[in-house]
Structures are given as structure tokens and as C-alpha cells.
Structure 1
């Protein structure tokens, strides 16, 4: 069906974006806020699920529904939530060391793209739970790829 095709493209783009992000960080030797030698993905999984769940609940459910109730159209809705999602990732710029500021800045801009993909997932499926699943998979894929490349 048409929904299956759109979802397949969104999932493919989301996963490719995760791998691209990790490769870009390694290729340009950008410091990340994780010690790859001691990174334990299974220990991080509950935190990843909690944080991504809260972000998706805020951006793809609360904000999305609030804008929807104000008759904001689907694509504009996706764009607005993606930009808010990206802006939220600028916060650590003031708390991280200067070595990590490049990572935070690049991540924040990249999150506009990832937020758009997650917003489209929400729009196409009409479910913030699907964008949560995509967000969790994206984060796990980035960390797994970074660990593999280190």
C-alpha cells in the first residue's frame, strides 16, 4: 500500500541518517560526549528509551496536537516540530566544554533533518509511538556505529 511505501522510505532515510551521522563524526574526528571504549549500549538502553520517549511525547504528541488543534497544516506541523526539536538540542552548548561544542552545534542542526523525518513518521502513521520507535532506533544505530568505528 501507499502507507507501506512511505514508511519504508522514512525508515530507510532515518537509518541511513544515523549511519551518516556516525561516519561524519568519525571522518572529521569530532569529539563526542561518550567514551567509546567503555560504552555499554545495553546499560544505556533504558535511558535512551526514556529520553527519546519524553522528547517524542513533547514534540510529536503535545506540540503536534497543540498545533493541529490550531489548524496548522500537516507539512507545516512537521516543520515546526522539527525546528523546535533542533532548537532544544542547542541547550548543551552552554554546559559542555569547548571541545564538545562543535559536536553539539552540528548535532543541533542535523536534528532539524532527523526531526523532520520523525515528524513525517508521526504525520504518516498518526502515531507518536511510531516516531518514538524511530527515534530510539536512530539513537541506538548512531551509538552502535560509533562504537563499531572506534
Structure 2
């Protein structure tokens, strides 16, 4: 094997164009002009895509969460408690049990979304004015037994 080939294989020269890169690192590498960091860029793009799609999937399936660190860390409210989720890598940890796994689909399979509390039902009484009936309905209460004209 020639000197140039050895330099390319040990990483002191670019493996594609032969440009001198410096000290040997022990493995072949490319210069910036030849796309030396393409793997890193691919990884960053894949993580950004994972962040977007995981965020959308969780919202579409009824999960509520807080975004931290530019949506790189999501704090998800589930029926099993609070879950820390990093959508770029897919890692999640259930805080209460310290259960760890990876993948947004595994998260959705492991912990169902937090269901809102059932609406409170109030029994209508004759002393309730139409104003109070409207106020209860707007606040999300269910009014049982109210006459049709008071709603």
C-alpha cells in the first residue's frame, strides 16, 4: 500500500480528495468540503424530525404535556403519572416507578393519556335563577332536572 492510501486510512488525509487534515486519528475521515460531517447532520435532522412527529402524535392521541428546552424534553401527563420524554432520542422515564424505555409508540402503549375529571352533575332546584343556571352550564357542570326554559 502506498503512503497516500495509508494517510487516507489513518485519517491524516481526507479519504475522498486527499487533503491533509492533521494528525492521524486511527480511522478514515473526510474534509469539510467533501462532507465530513454528513453523519452528524443526518443524526441532527433525524432527531428534529422525531421531535416534530412525536409532538404531533402525542397531541393527536390526547396527551397533555409541557415543552422544555425547545421541545427537546416533554413532560407528559399520563394515567401512570408524570413521564419525562425526550422525543429526539425516544427515551422516556416514568417518574413514579423509574421505568425506562424508548419510542413514542411504546410510551403510548405503556401509559394512557390523562383523562379529564368527569363533569360534576348538579341537581336543579326551584330557587335557581336563569342566570345561575347559565353560569353553572358555562363552568362545565351538568344540570340535571332543569326545566327546558331555564337552559
**Structure with higher strand content:** 2
Q: TM-score interval w.r.t. the shorter chain? A: under 0.3
The structure with the largest alpha-carbon Rg is 2
State the TM-score, normalized to the length of structure 1. Answer: 0.25
Task: Give the helix-richer structure, 1 or 2.
Answer: 1
* TM-score, reference length from structure 2: 0.25
